[in-house]
Amino acid sequence: MTLRRHLRNVDWVLFGATLGLIAIGIVFIASATHQQPVGGDNLYYLKRQVAWAAVSLVAMLLAVLIDYDLILRLGPWIYAANLVLLIFVLVAGTTVYGAQRWLQIGPMRVQPSEFAKVAMIVGFASFVAGREKEEGSGARLSRMRDLLPSVIYVGLPMLLVFRQPDLGTSLVFAAIFLCMLYVAGAEPKVLFGLTGGVVGGAALAIFLHYRFGLPLPLKEYQLRRIMTFIQPGQDLRSSGYHTHQSQIAIGSGRWFGKGLMAGSQNQLNFLPMRHTDFIFSVIGEEAGFIGSVIVLGLFLVMLWRCVLIAGRSKDLGGTLLAAGSAAMIAFHVLVNVGMAAGIMPVTGLPLPFITAGGSSLLANCVAIGLVLNVGLRRYKIHF
């Protein structure tokens, strides 16, 4: 029967790694927050995360069940809806910590830029695959001017996210964009040229601004934010102190950690935002190097399975969905853990599946659901 064959074709390793990461997240959120009661409830964050996990798993199931061909065909609509949503956030969003990233829907606050990443992957996969189909496959992506439509396609939502301002998420867009185009066969030299050009141009403009007063279309404080981004931990007022404390937490975990709910950094309130952005510090402190290896190992397994599915996909659209999702997760892990360990700027990017927060968990689960979907329907013909 189809069901049985479908079940056999599900990538249980990928699914298992996802469940494992979600479970680890729930445990450490409990450890990080059981001393911060919300409305007298010590388990507030724990309960909320469990509820979100349940919702996310249902969403994942939906993402598996609907044939991804159909999803890809809806790509342009998803893309358009995404743009509208992002514009709406800029106009009517709630401002938290100086950035307009949130939308208040009844009692819930959702962060549309989390979903924007997944919407981006779907939209761009359908866009690139569609163009390849029209023009025949091959080296159509090797010249700069062939890349231009792609740059505009991704650049638009990226700019909207940048305006919120959310530099971190707009960089996620860039990472996804580069990975997907490379996998689709774009000439690496052109891609590197493009990246180098943008980064170099921006660096030159900032240099000229400080050196010779070149006018920039940025406000002074926005510029300073970028400088803070380039020099992580320098800005004591916002995040420098936190990064330092986070490193102390991770380092003090040593090989085996101090044990669950026994991290002094965590429990004594020295760690900031410890159930969200800095959750990895809690893991490092309480579960030590062994725990860190397990978490990063699970992520590696997840990425490996995603790339494997990308390679086995029956069409370019599926390949790009899987590769884009892998790029998104990999970039988040790199930046988030790197931030906690003090080698990456503080950007507010969550640790996928682990950081407390519904929007991110839901979006990542949908992404994994799509990858599972591609794996499930890897056979072109019905045999």
Partner 1 sequence: MIALRQAMAGGEQQGLERRLNLVLLVMALSLLLVLGRVGYLQIVRGVYYEALSRGNRIRLVSLTAPRGEIVDRNGELLATTRPAFTASLIYMGHDYSDETLATLEDILSLERGRIRTLLQRHRGQWFRPIRLKNDISAQEHSMLEEHRHQLPGLVIEVVPIREYPYGNLAAHVLGRVGFLNTEAQRQSLTNQAGSYASIMMAAGLEPTGYQVDDIIGLIGLERQYDAILRGVDGVREVEVDNWGRPTRIEREQAFQTGLQLNLTIDAELQRTLEQAMVDNMERIRRLRGPSYATSAAAVVLDVRTGGVLAMASLPTFDPNWSASGRIDPQFLPQLEEFNRSIQGLYIPGSTYKMMTALTAVEEDIAHLSDTVWCGGGYRIGSDVIGCWVGAPGHGRVNLIDAIKGSCNVYFLEMGARLRAKARASDPTKGLVDMLSKYAPDFGLDGQTGIDLPFERAGRSPRTTGRSWLPGEDIQCAMGQSRQEYSPLQLAVYTATIATSGVRYRPYLVDSITQDGHVLWQAQPEVVPNAVEISQSTFDLVRQGMLAVTAPGGTGYWQFYDLPIKVAGKTGTAQTSRKPNDGLFVGFAPYDNPEIAWAIVFQHGDSGSLAGAPVAREVVRTYFGLRPPEVPQ
Residues that bind partner 1 (CB under 8 A): 36, 137, 179, 182-183, 185, 219-221, 224, 234-237, 240-241, 244-245, 247-255, 264-265, 268-270, 284-285, 288-289, 292-293, 296, 299-300, 303-304, 307, 310-312, 314, 319, 323, 326-327, 330, 333-334, 337-338, 341-343, 378-381
Query: Which lies closer to partner 1 via its Cβ, residue 288 or residue 345?
Result: 288
Query: Which lies closer to partner 1 via its Cβ, residue 162 or residue 304?
Result: 304
CB of 382 to partner 1, least distance (A): 11
Query: Which lies closer to partner 1 via its Cβ, residue 315 or residue 359?
Result: 315
Instruction: Give me the count of residues in the chain.
Output: 383
Q: Could you give the CA distance from residue 296 to residue 308 in angstroms, rounded to a whole number? A: 18
CB of 37 to partner 1, least distance (A): 11
Q: Could you give the CA distance from residue 40 to residue 61 in angstroms, rounded to a whole number? A: 34
Region for residue 280 given its phi and psi (left: phi exceeds 0; alpha: psi -120 to 50; beta: otherwise) = alpha
Q: Return all residues near 318 (Cβ < 8 A) that are at least 6 apart.
A: 68, 309, 310, 374, 377, 378
CB of 77 to partner 1, least distance (A): 28
CB of 182 to partner 1, least distance (A): 6
Q: How far is CA 297 from the centre of its chain?
A: 18
CB of 55 to partner 1, least distance (A): 28
CB of 194 to partner 1, least distance (A): 17
> What's 326's DSSP letter?
H
Strand partners, 38: 41
Kindly tell me the sign of the dihedral angle through the C-alpha atoms of 364, 335, 179, 99: positive
Query: Which lies closer to partner 1 via its Cβ, residue 104 or residue 238?
Result: 238
- CB-CB contact of 240 with 234 (8 Å): yes
CB of 78 to partner 1, least distance (A): 24
Question: What's the burial of 45, exposed, middle or buried (CB within 10 Å: 0-12/13-18/19+)?
Answer: buried
Single-letter amino acid code for the residue at 51 = A
Query: Which lies closer to partner 1 via its Cβ, residue 25 or residue 305?
Result: 305
Q: Could you give the CA distance from residue 240 to residue 223 in angstroms, rounded to a whole number? A: 17
> What's 93's DSSP letter?
P
Query: Which lies closer to partner 1 via its Cβ, residue 149 or residue 311?
Result: 311
Query: Which lies closer to partner 1 via its Cβ, residue 16 or residue 342?
Result: 342
How many CB atoms are located within 10 Å of the residue 201 CB? Answer: 10
CB of 285 to partner 1, least distance (A): 8
Q: How far is CA 132 from the centre of its chain?
A: 26
CB of 297 to partner 1, least distance (A): 9
Each as own residue / partner, the long-range contacts of residues 229-238 (CB below 8 Å, 24 or more positions apart, any chain) are 229/167, 229/345, 229/346, 229/347, 230/345, 231/345, 232/339, 232/342, 232/343, 232/344, 232/345, 232/346, 233/342, 233/346, 238/346
Query: Which lies closer to partner 1 via its Cβ, residue 49 or residue 245?
Result: 245
Query: Which lies closer to partner 1 via its Cβ, residue 83 or residue 187?
Result: 187
